[in-house]
Amino acid sequence: MKPTKLGNDYSHRKTTVLTRAMLAAGLFICLTGILLAQTAPVLVLSSTGTNQLFLTITNGDGTSTYDIYTTPVLDNPTYPWTAAVIGTNGQTNFTVSMPYATGFYRAVQETNGIPIWQAADPNNPGAGILAVFIDSPTNGAALQ
């Protein structure tokens, strides 16, 4: 045997093993990404007529509550996200009127159990439920 041939065979085997290991790792990463992508909720829109959309949350949590928000322009404080539909527990299908000729929609999952219309701050789930306390008048007079 020639020493150079042994060295080349070892080097070739090492390269083959490393190549196969890298291919296996790449395949694992791709499959993991595909599986994770399939479990993430996705908002699907379809037209039902000239001024309505049918929105479906696929892969949504059937026990959660989702609310649908809309805006005509992204990243513009003049046009904030506004509630288009307030969902109920387990609802994943929504029909919304299109308030703008063009627009954007997003689904927000309620995480604190407080409906968005009762939230003290819809952008802060830790704010809790809205409560109003009237300190004055304390004499029982009717407020107008």
Q: What is the mean pLDDT of residues 46-67?
A: 85
For the question of whether the overall pTM of this predicted structure is more than 0.85, the answer is no
Do 98 and 52 contact (CB within 8 A), yes or no? yes
User: Per residue in 96-143, pLDDT tens?
Assistant: 888 777 889 988 887 777 776 777 776 676 777 887 777 776 676 766
Q: Indicate the SS3 state at residue 23.
A: helix
pLDDT at 3 over 60: no
Q: Top-level CATH class of 42-113? A: mainly beta
With bands split at pLDDT 50, 70 and 90, how would you rate the model's confidence at 94? very high
pLDDT at 15 over 80: no
- β-pairing verdict for 66-71 and 104-109: antiparallel
At residue 20, the pLDDT reads 64
The residues spanned by each domain of the chain are 1-39, 42-113
pLDDT at 68 over 70: yes
| Cβ neighbours, 10 Å, residue 76 | 9
User: Per residue in 29-54, pLDDT tens?
Assistant: 655 555 555 567 888 888 887 788 89
Query: Higher pLDDT residue, 25 or 86?
Result: 86
Integer CA distances (angstroms), 58 to 18, 78, 92, 97, 122, in order:
40, 31, 7, 20, 24
How many residues can be counted in the chain? 144
Only one residue has tokens 């395949």, namely: 27
Token duo for residue 26? 């790449």
Q: Indicate the SS3 state at residue 104.
A: strand
